[in-house]
Structure 1
Amino acid sequence: MNDLTVSLVQTTLHWHDPAANRAQLADSLASALPGAGLTDLIVLPEMFTTGFSMEAAAQAESYPGPTLDWMREQAVRYNAVVTGSVLTEAEGAYFNRMLWVRPDGTHSSYDKRHLFRLAGEHEVYTAGNYRLLEEWRGWRIRPLICYDLRFPVWSRNSPHEPYDLLLYVANWPQPRAEIWRTLLRARAIENMAYTVGVNRLGVDGAGQEYSGQSALLNIHGEYLAQAGNLQT
């Protein structure tokens, strides 16, 4: 298996301002990656253009839309896959949709399966009904979203569909940060898979605080990289 370089983008987000978030992220990537070929996979947080929002009717982006175009531009620029989730409207419904965008311009998508009922997410968004398995530069990768982390069966590494890397993007609140860290370790250990979790920073428009704690873990649940509460 080849080495895989993964870039974890942990950042504050502008509330309900996709253009500002895309511009901020483009600047961050340009600063961290001065050229192509320095990374294989760029991972952005959940709902990285808006923050985690229940105002889907006002904030949802058509699919395909400008953020998919922007992700294609970044994928080409850095010769890497770019992934993260976007508040999306498609086929008359709203989705928390993860986009997996390749440097050749093609893409796949995954809709969040486990919606956070305590926040009423299930009343606004439509749950996904499939999992995604991507092969990239010799690695088999399973991308999932936030609350999916709490459901081990959905994350299970099956001999019928094995993966090497389990990947979560999130807007995981600061009061439950220790749960985030614990569950990432648990998923890595029980699935014997490298595991990435990318979370956001800052305070959103609803007053919810986020402390990051993005990380990369090995198959033993040991940290290979931790972002703490720093912007990366």
Structure 2
Amino acid sequence: MSTELHIALVQCPLVWEDPVANRENLERIILSLSSSIDLIVLPEMFTTGFTMTPANIAREEGEKTVEWMQAMATLKNAALVGSIVFAEGEHYYNRLWFVEPDNKIASYNKRHTFTLAGEDKVYTAGENRLLINFRGFRIFPLICYDLRFPVWARNTEGYDVLIYVANWPEKRIAAWDALLKARAIENMAYVIGVNRVGTDNYGHEYVGHSAVYDVLGNTLVCSKVATVLYATLDKEHIETQREKLRFLEDRDQFSLQV
């Protein structure tokens, strides 16, 4: 089993509330990626932008996007992860999907809905965390506003990689940078943050700052423009630093109730 995980971070503009156009654009990007990639990370709500009017999106688009993710994962022999608007019964969710090349899928509903934008009034909040074992790495994916709540991301399971997919606006980008780095340091894990660029229909500007941090908080990659960023995660780096520093052994012990 390899001790490395090769990842691609897709930082791109999004077409407002247009799943077909966004899938087509992302498909062109994904098909151009190297065949050596293990994991492709897409932004939050990558088929629509951060919309508070999910009823504008045809209900079947959620399933169509999951099927598209399965097709892309199979073609590239890589996992895809990102969140979309997903309708289920009477509820809408900001739902993250982790799709593997063998068509195995898992999902996570955003726990911390963004009250400042009224997301809590439109989308149903999740209650459960998701831990993925993929190609020798334990991966813990979260969504945007979750970044502000360190208890929810607390590394009690010994995960190796913490992922945040986001639509994080330029006016608060300093918080994004600082909190991603902090999550890496306090959890002694690689942290991946993928944000979008461009402007949405509410007039919010997005400047990317997608990045990867190692377990000591060092920046491996970061960009402010539309691009694909590449990084290689090394399991030996995690194990060596945790064995040397042992900070996780001193964490406070408590139970999280939701």
Q: What TM-score comes out, normalization by structure 2 length? A: 0.85
User: How far apart in 1 are the matches of 2:28 and 2:190?
Assistant: 28
Do the aligned residues in 2 keep the contact of 1:95 with 1:112 (CA within 8 Å)?
Answer: yes
In structure 2, the residue matched to 1:178 is: 174
Do the aligned residues in 2 keep the contact of 1:12 with 1:231 (CA within 8 Å)?
Answer: no
Moved more, 74-83 or 24-33: 24-33
Give the alignment partner of residue 226 of structure 1, picking from 218, 222, 227.
Answer: 222
User: How far apart in 2 are the matches of 1:165 and 1:183?
Assistant: 15
In structure 2, the residue matched to 1:212 is: 208
Q: Deviations over 1:152-173 (max 9, x none)?
A: 0000001xx2200000000000
Give the alignment partner of residue 70 of structure 1, picking from 61, 68, 71.
Answer: 68
Q: Does 1:101 align with 2:99?
A: yes
Change (3 A) 1:213 1:225: same
Divergent runs of 4+, >4 A: none
User: How far apart in 1 are the matches of 2:56 and 2:15?
Assistant: 16
Look up the SS of the partner of 2:32 in the other structure: helix
What is the CA distance between 1:229 and its match in structure 2? 2.5
- The structure that has the greater radius of gyration is 2
What is the CA distance between 1:60 and its match in structure 2? 5.7
The number of equivalent residue pairs is: 227
Q: What amino acid sits opposite 1:82 in the alignment?
A: L
Do the aligned residues in 2 keep the contact of 1:60 with 1:87 (CA within 8 Å)?
Answer: no
In structure 2, the residue matched to 1:12 is: 13
In percent, how many aligned pairs have the same letter?
51
User: How far apart in 1 are the matches of 2:63 and 2:8?
Assistant: 24
User: How far apart in 1 are the matches of 2:224 and 2:187?
Assistant: 24
Do the aligned residues in 1 keep the contact of 2:10 with 2:43 (CA within 8 Å)?
Answer: yes
Q: Deviations over 1:129-180 (max 9, x none)?
A: 000000001000000000000000000001xx22000000000001111110
Give the alignment partner of residue 144 of structure 2, picking from 146, 152, 160.
Answer: 146
Look up the SS of the partner of 2:152 in the other structure: coil
In structure 2, the residue matched to 1:27 is: 28
User: How far apart in 1 are the matches of 2:59 and 2:218?
Assistant: 37
Q: Give RMSD over aligned pairs.
A: 1.2
Moved more, 50-59 or 126-135: 50-59
Q: Does 1:199 align with 2:195?
A: yes
Q: Deviations over 1:26-70 (max 9, x none)?
A: 11112233xx3x100000000000000000112264486110010
In structure 1, the residue matched to 2:185 is: 189
Q: What amino acid sits opposite 1:229 in the alignment?
A: V
Change (3 A) 1:207 1:63: closer
What is the CA distance between 1:219 and its match in structure 2? 0.5
Do the aligned residues in 1 keep the contact of 2:17 with 2:56 (CA within 8 Å)?
Answer: no
Look up the SS of the partner of 2:31 in the other structure: helix
Q: Deviations over 1:199-225 (max 9, x none)?
A: 000001111110000000000111011
Q: Which structure 1 segments of 5+ residues have no match? A: none
Q: Does 1:167 align with 2:163?
A: yes
Q: What TM-score comes out, normalization by structure 1 length? A: 0.95
Change (3 A) 1:164 1:195: same
User: How far apart in 2 are the matches of 1:61 and 1:216?
Assistant: 34
In structure 1, the residue matched to 2:90 is: 92
